[in-house]
Amino acid sequence: MKPKDIVLDFYKSDVLLDRKTVSELLHPEVTIDWNTSKGFIQMDFNDILSLTDELAKAYVRSKIRISHILQEKNLVSLRFSHFVKTIENPREEMLMGNFFVIWEVKDDKLFKGYQMSHFS
């Protein structure tokens, strides 16, 4: 499987709300360095799964709209907007934020991520 396809599988609709699927796509030694509008966060496998659990509690839908994707060897860069639907208002799609991420793929899994985001 191509690195680009692995990354695209991670960002399919509702995957970020599904702990089982997320865990299958992550390398056991995964890390992500994330620069948010509120500061720097470094996450590992368990942190990412905890975030998935939190997203699943708050949102009924998760949709990623990708504007750019590039692959060079085992590195994949992605620019996207993340939209969600809340439990309180499942009919209204809300922009969560805009993201740019570079993923290194190793052993057909997401291994190292470098992400920047701006939340709405």
Q: Which domains does the chain have, with CATH numbers?
A: 3-119 (3.10.450.50)
By 3-state DSSP, what share of the chain in percent is helix, strand and coil, each rounded to 5? 25, 55, 15
The answer to whether residue 95 scores a pLDDT higher than 80 is yes
The answer to whether residue 120 scores a pLDDT higher than 80 is no
**How does pLDDT run across 62-86, given as a tens digit for each residue?**
999 999 999 999 999 999 999 999 9
The pLDDT value recorded for residue 119 is 86
**How does pLDDT run across 100-112, given as a tens digit for each residue?**
999 999 999 999 9
On whether the CB atoms of residues 6 and 109 are closer than 8 A, the answer is yes
